Amino acid sequence: MEKIKKILLKSSKSFRRFIRRMLVDFKKGNLKGYDLKKLKGRKDVYRVRKGIMRIIVLHNDKQTKILGIEHRSTGTYKDKS
């Protein structure tokens, strides 16, 4: 979680607003309008694309949680949980 905080502190204000809005929308069940893809092998983990950034999100009936935020690279989608 510390890594996510560091990335958010270094990010632009607009990116932080995007993250906040995305989390609220996910909790409300509104997944439309996001560049979203369910990751293989997991029924509750999604990838959200925002420019060169990739946000890995755990979303199910019980919780919505950011597992990782990274620049797109070959290691971006390795197991985060």
Answer whether residue 28 is part of any domain.
yes
Q: Which residues span the domain enclosing 55?
A: 2-71
pTM beyond 0.85 = no
Answer whether residue 78 is part of any domain.
no
Average pLDDT over residues 37-50: 92
Answer whether residue 64 is part of any domain.
yes
Answer whether residue 81 is part of any domain.
no
Answer whether residue 80 is part of any domain.
no
Answer whether residue 76 is part of any domain.
no
Beta strands in 1-81, from DSSP E residues, in sequence order: 35-38, 45-50, 53-59, 64-71
Average pLDDT over residues 11-32: 92
What is the CATH classification number for the domain harbouring 37? 3.30.2310.20
Q: How does residue 73 score in pLDDT terms, banded at 50, 70 and 90?
A: low
Answer whether residue 79 is part of any domain.
no
| Alpha carbon distance 75, 34 (integer Å) | 22
Average pLDDT over residues 14-26: 93
Domain count, the chain: 1
